[in-house]
């Protein structure tokens, strides 16, 4: 009962934060970026909580349980990506102080059609990643509260929809900051309790099969690991919710600090999540892989601490889900909807009602998706294929003041899609090839050829 009470209090705090955050929001700008006044701690906390989603924590643990630490090591590519964004992209974002979405950046450099396409792809990746988080929260509710998975999804995601739709990005930042603190306590606590339950660190390490610690385990070669590393390196570069946080700080210095610190914090969390999977393997070698982390919580974490840990796991899912839900709603409302109806002619209150309503419908769509997809981490990798190969090269080039022509934008996107599709067919027979990495490479080659022609013409 104590643990349930802790979790209930956790949910109530999130709801109260959402209600508080919804106060005084009067227009779309305040809903999407608030007043661009957050400090480095809030941005760092929100960014960290957002990317430490169900896939990167629970899915990572599941992969460690089934094949070893391969994915935990591969996820360091994600950490490196965040570091590079902090060092080289964040300082350039002051030029977009009036932007609300990735579509705004693309639209400024490549026109309205490119903005619309960006909005559509932003929506796709947000729905894909939302689906993985919803699926994960259903697993947690089912295991810990003994209720059907679909009921758990409806309850857990209902709360996420409530505070995200009501509080907008302000609510997401505030709840992320609270959830970040719970995550930083809860996830390491699972490993500490699990290792203690097994008899201590030395006993745990002595009983880990050596191949489980090998970064090339279950892979055909070092090239396969490099491909996995590159998948995480390019997969979520400048996806909508992370870009939004680059718009929201008081200054680019705050943004840079927040992003760099978040990248550093992610490394030990990824490794800890992987180790938890190995703890579960020693506790019970006959589990379904996705149950590995919840199993450790259920049997190794004592009463009282268990409530905090469960809140930490739920925080992992809620923070990421709310960020992608909010970003997806903004992408549709701001980048897609104006091409369908005369959205800009609506008054501010009506625009605000529309974006909140869109959040609700996106949440329902994510629930439907989650009901039909099983593997948590693989959903993320599939979602990457609709983002980086199509938009990444042109987006980074624009930020650095080196955009191609409008025609060149669509050529890069088209080649990226073709490379991704063709490689996906090949990858079904050859796991050494990562479709999204080669898709980005194809887009980059096209960009280089186009820029070379531009220089010769000049």
The C-alpha atoms of residue 295 and residue 277 are separated, in whole angstroms, by 10
Which residues are within 8 A (CB) of 37 and not within 5 positions of it... i.e. 6 or more apart? 248, 250
Cβ distance 89 to 260 under 8 Å?
no
Question: pLDDT tens track of the chain, all 458 residues?
Answer: 788 899 999 999 999 999 999 888 988 989 999 889 899 999 999 999 998 887 789 889 999 999 899 999 999 999 999 999 999 999 999 999 999 999 999 999 999 999 999 999 998 888 878 877 777 787 788 878 888 888 888 888 889 999 999 999 999 999 999 999 999 999 999 999 999 999 999 999 999 988 898 887 766 567 778 888 988 998 789 999 999 999 999 899 999 999 999 999 999 999 999 999 999 999 999 998 888 998 999 899 999 899 999 999 999 889 988 999 999 999 999 999 988 887 666 777 888 899 999 999 988 877 876 676 555 545 555 666 778 999 999 999 999 999 999 999 999 999 999 998 888 777 655 556 678 888 999 999 999 999 988 777 76
Please provide the CATH number assigned to the domain covering 2-377. Answer: 1.20.1730.10
Residue 354 tokens, joined: 């529309």
How many angstroms separate the Cα of 211 from the Cα of each of 65, 219, 278? 12, 11, 12
Question: Contact, 282 vs 83, CB < 8 A?
Answer: no
Q: What are phi and psi of 285, to 5 degrees?
A: -80, 10
- 373 close to 423: Cβ distance less than 8 angstroms: no
pTM of the complete model: 0.90
């Amino acid at each position: 009962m104590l643990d349930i009470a802790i979790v209930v209090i956790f949910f109530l705090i999130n709801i109260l934060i959402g209600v508080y955050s919804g106060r005084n929001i009067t227009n779309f700008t305040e809903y999407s970026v608030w007043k661009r006044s957050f400090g480095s701690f809030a941005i760092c906390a929100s960014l960290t909580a957002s990317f430490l989603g169900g896939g990167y924590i629970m899915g990572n643990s599941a992969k460690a349980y089934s094949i070893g630490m391969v994915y935990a090591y591969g996820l360091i590519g994600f950490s490196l990506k965040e570091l590079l964004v902090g060092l080289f992209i964040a300082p350039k974002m002051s030029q977009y102080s009036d932007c609300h979405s990735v579509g705004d950046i693309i639209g400024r450099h490549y026109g309205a059609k490119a903005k619309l396409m960006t909005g559509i792809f932003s929506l796709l990746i947000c729905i894909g990643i939302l689906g993985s988080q919803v699926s994960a929260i259903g697993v947690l509710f089912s295991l810990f509260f003994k209720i059907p998975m679909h009921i758990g999804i409806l309850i857990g995601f209902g709360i996420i929809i409530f505070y995200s739709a009501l509080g907008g990005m302000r609510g997401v930042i505030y709840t992320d900051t609270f959830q970040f603190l719970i995550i930083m306590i809860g996830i390491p606590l699972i490993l500490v309790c699990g290792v203690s339950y097994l008899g201590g660190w030395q006993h745990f390490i002595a009983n880990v099969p050596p191949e489980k610690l090998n970064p090339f385990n279950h892979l055909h070669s070092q090239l396969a690991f490099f491909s996995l590393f590159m998948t995480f390196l390019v997969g979520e570069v400048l996806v909508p919710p992370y870009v939004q946080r680059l718009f929201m700080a008081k200054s680019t210095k705050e943004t840079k600090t927040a992003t760099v610190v978040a990248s550093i914090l992610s490394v030990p969390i990824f490794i800890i999540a992987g180790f938890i999977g190995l703890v579960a393997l020693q506790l019970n070698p006959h589990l379904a892989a996705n149950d590995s982390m919840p199993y450790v919580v259920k049997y190794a974490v004592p009463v009282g601490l268990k409530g905090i840990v469960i809140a930490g796991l739920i925080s992992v899912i809620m923070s990421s889900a709310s960020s992608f839900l909010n970003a997806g709603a903004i992408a549709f409302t701001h980048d897609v909807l104006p091409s369908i109806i005369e959205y800009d002619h609506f008054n501010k209150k009506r625009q605000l009602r529309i974006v909140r309503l869109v959040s609700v419908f996106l949440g329902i769509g994510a629930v439907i998706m989650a009901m039909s997809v099983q593997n948590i981490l693989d959903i993320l990798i599939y979602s990457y294929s609709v983002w980086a190969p199509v938009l990444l090269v042109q987006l980074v080039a624009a930020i650095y003041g080196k955009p191609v022509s409008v025609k060149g934008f669509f050529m890069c996107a088209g080649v990226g899609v073709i490379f991704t599709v063709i490689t996906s067919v090949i990858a079904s027979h050859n796991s050494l090839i990562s479709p999204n990495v080669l898709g980005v490479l194809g887009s980059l080659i096209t960009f280089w050829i186009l820029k070379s022609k531009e220089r010769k013409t000049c």
